[in-house]
Amino acid sequence: MAFLVNRTMSFTSSPARLAIIFIIAGVVIVFAIFGTSARSMFVSSTTEEGTVEIKQADECIVQASDEIPRKITNCPYEQGEKVSITYKPGQPNIESHRPAQS
């Protein structure tokens, strides 16, 4: 039993080694938390038609096939109007929009 106590008590680390361990652990934690967001930055954009579901003042809400509501500010469209939107799947932002081709 004394051998185990002496062996664990003699473990020493330099401050530089501890700093490296903490930096690596921090990077791993950040990637674990934000990993899905980082991957979605590299996903290609999707363009599809959606309908303006809600219009309030100068903002419109358009819902695409992935059922995520997306907001258009300074919206020139009316409620019920078809709009072509470009977005990244899983992200609420719209990259571009235009009236749908009839």
Q: For residue 57, what is the domain's CATH number? A: 2.40.50
Same domain, 54 and 26: no
Query: How many domains is the chain built from?
Result: 2
Q: State the pLDDT at residue 18.
A: 85
Q: State the pLDDT at residue 86.
A: 93
CA distance 77 to 62: 10
Reading the block at residue 14, the tokens are: 């330099």
Same domain, 53 and 94: yes
Is the separation of the CB atoms in 21 and 28 below 8 Å?
no
Tell me which residue range forms the domain holding 25. Answer: 2-40
Same domain, 88 and 56: yes
Is the separation of the CB atoms in 98 and 72 below 8 Å?
no
Which strands, in side-by-side order, build the sheet including 94-99? 69-73, 59-63, 46-56, 82-87, 94-99
CA distance 37 to 68: 16
Same domain, 35 and 50: no
Beta-bridge partner residues of 83 = 50, 99
pTM score of the predicted model: 0.58
DSSP label at residue 64: -
Same domain, 53 and 71: yes
pLDDT values of the chain reduced to their tens digit, one per residue, 102 residues: 445 544 554 456 688 888 899 999 988 888 777 765 556 666 788 899 989 999 998 999 998 888 889 999 999 999 999 999 999 888 888 999 999 886
